[in-house]
Structure 1
């Protein structure tokens, strides 16, 4: 009975099948199929389709108004029910990669569970860009510049990045003076081989090369400690090794400062109460 209703509402609100698909993070063909099946069940055409635009039939316009009213009443009823629940309960699935999630997010999640012991937390440490809706995740922790997305992204904190190497590596291979000098060094890479720098107040990318690549910061650190090359890592991760002289900053004056850490979740009207509580809890702590 409910199949196709949200797709129909989104198509009308967004003005096209393509925009609705982006908002819902599904394919355009999925949207079209759901609405076709909805029209079949209702026995009437809701949307007039042309190559350039869509428009509602009279039946479609009345149906849209009715659905909007029903959806709003459902939201209000759910909010009322969740607001009266004294103890939130149920599973929250979160995905994110890296030591930041393990070392800084996980302890806050543990505090949250102490406060709400009937909530269950599942953390997935996947390095790939997980599709939250299709794979059933409530939240994600992501890093760097956010691309245009149908997801809501809330900034948690700014993570300052750094280039580091051992004194022995720099003594043997020389100290880079400008970012372009990295082309003559072995660079220990994580997610990308394009490192960003602030050069004369302009952000530029340098495509680096190296024989060590890993999506785990600890593995990159070990390679760096072994004098294999220059690593690109978060400052909060390497600062203690700078302090005890195991590592040295490289090209620190050229580092950019826009590497935000984001709390990301799908655009949904009906976010479970327990998830809303966790969102507020994380934002408050950071």
Structure 2
């Protein structure tokens, strides 16, 4: 009776037989065979198949909706019986990058694991835009504007970004009075070469260039402190150096107001209890 149901739901969630097979760590032919046998038993076609993609039929969509409800109720019943509501267990994979994840998110995750020692956590520091579903991550910490509609994004913390340089660098090369003047300066690039500014209440992007690039803010900070160029960094990172005078801010009147750190996770109907619990813990830790 239950044979093929899990494979079917994985195909629905991951959008293809190949991705479902990867998630379940089985062969694509196994997934295809199980779904085909399920369709044969039901006497109904669940997927429309073409050479390029698959899509649910009306019958498949209705069947998937009912199965998800049943599966969630089954998971809840198992959790309650096994005591997971009191003792969540299992692996949670998180991806993120930068000083914010290392210095602020990681300690809060550690508090969670200390409270629930049967939970395992794997934090991958990766600056690229990881595909959470395909690569098997439960959560991501991202910065800036969220554009992927397939993800749920919850704000963790607003971060004020500022442009800084050493007094010595500015004495040698001049202090820019407008974003456009940055094209004449050595800019220390973290991720992208387009920096965003608020100009006359509109967001303007300026393409910058420089001879130093790193995806770690501390590397950018150290380069700025050696008079190498202009950096765009979070205010909490540069605050001690602003206070001591080793760095100064520029272009403050052009700051944009939509910089935030986000907790991001896939739009799934079935989120493991341990992951839901960590989501609630992080949101409460930052906004509570």
| TM-score normalised by structure 1 residue count | 0.83
Q: Determine the structure 1 residue equivalent to 2:152.
A: 152
Structure 2: give runs of 5+ residues left out of the alignment. 21-27
Taking the aligned partners of 1:67 and 1:202, their CA distance within structure 2 comes to 44
The CA deviation string for residues 60-110 of structure 1, in whole angstroms up to 9 with x for no partner, is: 63x654543333122112123324422111111111000100000011111
Taking the aligned partners of 1:283 and 1:79, their CA distance within structure 2 comes to 22
**What secondary structure does 2:95 align onto?**
strand
Q: Does 1:202 align with 2:199?
A: no
Q: Determine the structure 2 residue equivalent to 1:216.
A: 216
Q: Does 1:181 align with 2:181?
A: yes
**What secondary structure does 2:191 align onto?**
coil
The CA deviation string for residues 226-281 of structure 1, in whole angstroms up to 9 with x for no partner, is: 10110011111111110111100010110101011111112222211111110000
Residues 177, 72 of structure 1: alpha-carbon distance in 2 compared, 3 angstrom cutoff: same
Taking the aligned partners of 2:221 and 2:49, their CA distance within structure 1 comes to 56
Residues 95, 148 of structure 1: alpha-carbon distance in 2 compared, 3 angstrom cutoff: closer
Q: Does 1:69 align with 2:72?
A: no
Contact 1:99 1:217 in 2 (8 A): yes
**What secondary structure does 2:227 align onto?**
coil
Q: Does 1:170 align with 2:170?
A: yes
2:5 to 2, 5, 8: 2
Taking the aligned partners of 1:67 and 1:222, their CA distance within structure 2 comes to 53
Q: What are the within-5 Å matches in structure 2 for residues 90-105 of structure 1?
A: 90-105=90-105
Residues 67, 175 of structure 1: alpha-carbon distance in 2 compared, 3 angstrom cutoff: closer
Deviation at 1:225, TM superposition (A): 0.8
When the two chains are superposed, the root-mean-square deviation of aligned CA atoms in Å is 2.7
Deviation at 1:112, TM superposition (A): 0.9
Residues 64, 251 of structure 1: alpha-carbon distance in 2 compared, 3 angstrom cutoff: closer
Taking the aligned partners of 2:64 and 2:188, their CA distance within structure 1 comes to 54
Q: Determine the structure 1 residue equivalent to 2:45.
A: 46
Q: Determine the structure 1 residue equivalent to 2:24.
A: none
| TM-score normalised by structure 2 residue count | 0.83
